[in-house]
Amino acid sequence: MTSTTPPLLSVRDLTVDFRTRHGTVHVLENVSFDLAPGEIIGIVGESGSGKSVTAFAIMGILDKAARILSGDIRFENRDVMAMSPRARDLWRGKEASIIFQNPRTALNPIRPVGDQIADVIARHTPAAPAEVKARVLQAMRQVRIPDPEKRMSAYPFELSGGLCQRIGIAAALACEPRLLIADEPTTGLDVTTQAVIMDLIRDVARAGNLGTVLITHDLALASEYCDRIVVMHAGHVVETAPVAELFARPRHPYTTGLLGSVPSLVESVHDLRAIPGSLPDLRRSDLPPCRFADRCPRHQPGCEAPGLRPEPAGPNHLVACRYPL
């Protein structure tokens, strides 16, 4: 996305805590990124880096234990966080939709899948039952579900994981949203089905000019389907760049570590390298400005100076590091 392109979605300095019986967990801190219409960005990082929490904060479906301490979320320059609960409910599903990680838990097991797609349409678009049914079939055909007339009356347990995920995608797209968030949409699917689902998401996004956020821990997957990558570590955005630029010239040591730990991205298994250590305890009250410092091979005195912010590493390339590669 260039600086002259108005963003579809803009997230600025999003900070989220979770209150638990074991203390306050500092889940996100100053998370910022933009998404242009028609763009597909990938949010990548280890489990626990804050990827899904970021998505849930955007959609307004955070757990009750969560507190948004600060930040700004704007959709087409509208303040999403200032919306009333009813306005947010109407926005969610009609203008912005999410595909959840596990389709079998996202779908209601005791209702036919066609009824679940119909619920989305009926909530956001006044229509007669016959029109709703026609739109359900259209949504199912859009995601290439074979024999939709028969399968719309099936229950989730009667369908494969891949078909359940297609039902989830059909429900997410049923009201033609402009923002689509896909939260680990291929988890638990075999490799062939993963490719089919990702091809489907990409094709639908391109055809509808959707701004799409793909959340994944799979950098190889992100490199194939995304225009730009946002790298997260322990609740921080540490680097963001166009895909080709990031993979050719990663600047943050964490990004380099991630790339070196993916078998398909190295020349030989002997080149594989694990990132040392683990994510810091996010309940600590003394978390450093750079949460990667204790794991970083380039750590130097002064790395953790207050006010650490992403600094330009090139056109459209930002890195949050005092001593980037």
Question: Quick one: how far is CA 145 from the chain centroid?
Answer: 24
Kindly tell me the sign of the dihedral angle through the C-alpha atoms of 318, 273, 26, 283. Answer: negative
- Phi/psi of residue 61, each to 5°? -125, 35
Nearest to 171 by CA among 215, 217, 118, 220: 118
Average pLDDT over residues 40-55: 96
What whole-number percentage of the chain has pLDDT above 90? 75
* Cross-strand pairs, 231: 44, 239
For residues 36 and 1, the answer to whether their CB atoms sit within 8 Å is yes
Q: Which two tokens stand for residue 234?
A: 């322990």
Question: In the prediction, which pLDDT does 56 show?
Answer: 97
Whether residue 297 is predicted with pLDDT greater than 80 in this model: the reply is yes
Helix (H) or strand (E) holding 23, with range, is: strand 23-35
Question: In the prediction, which pLDDT does 91 show?
Answer: 96
For residues 291 and 280, the answer to whether their CB atoms sit within 8 Å is yes
- pTM: predicted TM-score of the whole model, two decimal places: 0.92
CATH fold for the domain made of 9-95+177-319: Rossmann fold (3.40.50)
Tokens 């949203």 belong to: 177
* Cross-strand pairs, 211: 179
User: To 5 degrees, how large is the angle CA 100–CA 46–CA 168?
Assistant: 10
Whether residue 2 is predicted with pLDDT greater than 50 in this model: the reply is no
For residues 259 and 265, the answer to whether their CB atoms sit within 8 Å is yes
pLDDT digits (tens, 9 = 90+) for 167-203: 999 999 999 999 999 999 988 788 888 899 999 999 9
Task: Say how far apart CA 209 and CA 265 lie, in whole Å.
Answer: 29
Task: Say how far apart CA 64 and CA 183 lie, in whole Å.
Answer: 20
Task: Say how far apart CA 81 and CA 60 lie, in whole Å.
Answer: 8
Give 59 or 311, the one with higher predicted confidence: 59
Phi-psi domain of 72 (left: phi exceeds 0; alpha: psi -120 through 50; beta: other): beta
Average pLDDT over residues 143-156: 95
- Looking at every residue in the chain, the average pLDDT score rounds to 91
- Phi/psi of residue 254, each to 5°? -65, -45
At residue 288, the 3 state secondary structure works out as coil
For residues 295 and 273, the answer to whether their CB atoms sit within 8 Å is no
